[in-house]
Structure formats: C-alpha cells, structure tokens
Structure 1
Amino acid sequence: MTVLSFRKLKHWPGVIALSVCAGTTAWILERLEEQNIPREAVGPDEPDSYMENFVQTAMDERGRLESRLRAKRMFHFSDDTTQLLHPALELSSDNPKAPWFARADSGWIGAGNDTVLLYGNVSVWRQNPEGLREIEVQAPDLRILPKKRYAETDSATTIITPTGITQGIGMRARLAFGLVELLKNVRTHYDEKR
C-alpha cells in the first residue's frame, strides 16, 4: 500500500492548473482556426461567400445608372464566378426613360462580370415612360453581356408586343438600340385588339 505524503501532494495543484491552462488554450486555438478557414480549404463546388437580398449597382463615368442586379441569394466561388437565385437585372439603354429589365429563376455570372447567364422562365422587357411594357422576350435561357447591352439565346423564344406575338428559334438583341432579332422558324400572330 502506498501512502502519499503531504510533501508529494504540494506540486499537484500547480500541475492541475497548468493542465487546465494548456487544455483551454488548445480549445481556443482550435475555435479560432475554424473561423479563419483559408480559401484553399474550400472545395471548388463550395461557395467562399454568400449574401441574401443581394444588390449590385454599376454607374457609368458620368454617374448615371448603368446596371443594377438583384438576387434573393448570391453565392460567390473561389474561381470568381457567382451563382444567383431569382436574379433581377436592370440595364440602361440609349433612352434613359426606357431601361431593360430581366428576371429568371436562377443565374450565373462569369469571372470579371462580363457575362450573365439566366436560366428558367427568363423574361426580358422594356417599359415605355408611362410604365407599360412595350416589348417582352421570353425564353428558357439567355446570355447577357451587360457592358455591351447585348443578349442572345439559341432556344425557342417568344416576343410579345401590344400588337402581337412572334415566336422563333434563337434570338439576338442589341438592347442599347432596342433591336431584337429572331433567327429561324419565325412565326407572327398579329392582333390589333391586343
């Protein structure tokens, strides 16, 4: 049987205190490392940041609105691409009172913000100064080059105006000038009562 003497126990409080300090320090360092995850540790399919109720506004050199992009959610990735949930885009045109608007179920922005891809129930329209839609373009997907005010798709497209509906396959639009061109299999239904 071992008997502990008082002399042998007098160092134990110091040993216990040092052990508690070392354990606490290790725990704190572990928590700090979890909060400061380096970018390289994030996988290519995982966002490195996200925002809810995202709004991005771009102005031209004169301070006028060039474009405004909104989304319910925005996910940014380490390759500098961005995915959007329910994006809404506003683009200025030559007529500042008649900007173009676009909405979709989802979207993607390429690195450098030069290309915006819209997917699912894409609708692009322009309103007249009274707020009525002059023209609406509907397609399942659309590629927009915001700085060039250009949009295109290879998919089936419908154009709706106050006087009719035009359908075709493939579309190019020079939004700055209000020019929309369907590429093939174009059919128009004219209705002056519309």
Structure 2
Amino acid sequence: MFTDLTTFTEMNISVLLLITLLITTCFTDVNMSFDFNGKIALVTGGARGNGYAIISELLQKGIRGVTMIDVDAERGQQAAHELNNMYGYSKVIFIPVNVSQATQFEYAFRVSMWHWNGLDIVINNAGVTGENNWISMVNVNIIGTVQGTYLGLQYMSKSGRGGVIINLSSTLGVDPDYYQPVYDASKSFILSLGRSISDEL
C-alpha cells in the first residue's frame, strides 16, 4: 500500500531542523515504529541545500542506501563522496539527471532499482527559482515533480512493498508574494498534485 505524504512546506527555520521535522513527522504518521533499516530512498536535487540535508538525515536514521540525483554532476559526485565518508562506504550513489528530461529520469530509476534491488522512498526536492528563466522553472518544478511522482509509483509498485512519496513545496505555494508569480504558482501546483494523488490512492 502506498502512503503519499505529498507535500511538506519549507519553514523559516534551520535546514537541519526542517529536515529532522520532515522525516520524523513523515514516518511517525506512516507507522509509529517505522524502521529505516533496509530501506532505500531516491532524492532529487540532492547535491546541496535541503536535498543534501535530507540525505544526511536519512543516513543518520539508519537507511540502507540513497540514490542522489542532481543536474550538477561535479557537485553531485563530491557530495556523494562526502556522505559516504561520513556514513559508510557505498551508502550513497550519485546519478546526474535533469529531472525535466523523462528519458534521463526514468534511466535513473532503473539504475537505482538495479543497484539497490528495491525502492521505498522517493523525495522530489529538485527545484529552481528565477522569474527570468520561467520555462526552466516550470520544467523542473512542475514537470520534474510530476515525473518523479509517477515514476515513484511505477517502480515501487513493481517491488510489491509500496512506499512513500514526498514532494517538497514552499509556503509561497499557499501565500504567494508579488514578485515571483511563476515560482509561487509552481509550488501551489505541487500542493494540488499531492492532494489529488492522495485522494486517488
């Protein structure tokens, strides 16, 4: 059975506290005795910022392995190396992917499944800002999140174990400001997507 925890909204607190709260709340709601041991996660936008902190927190919780996805190949390799040094060799694999590109993204899921022989958690964190490049913003924030959600459902269904999908949004998806309308709309879309899929499942 799938639990789509849909969307956790960014808060104005430290990243580490945010990620700890996100993961603790997420898996407490799913199962009061959720055990990360043996579980596999795939995290997009994982090379820096919130994505990096999410992976670090998952590793601290004892997860078996993480597939890190990011468009920045150089930083992604460096980040995976750092995390493997901190938490144990081969805990993290890195796959360079532009999440707006369906072929690349699907390939990453296939490689992840082959490498870990399973998938339990998908965290769609990748996102971009910058109203001057709104096409890229729509491609990553909206198309990338939709693709990550449906690929997660597809590949976790194959395992027969179900899983968890988390799509990160922003408070601006609920309370938009006046100077970045496309970004705010993209985050509002993520909230609506999560609610709709939760109802469907």
Report the TM-score range of the alignment, normalised by the length of the smaller protein: under 0.3
More helix by share: 2
Q: Which has the higher contact order (CA 8 A, sep 6+)?
A: 2
More strand by share: 1
TM-score scaled by length of structure 1: 0.23
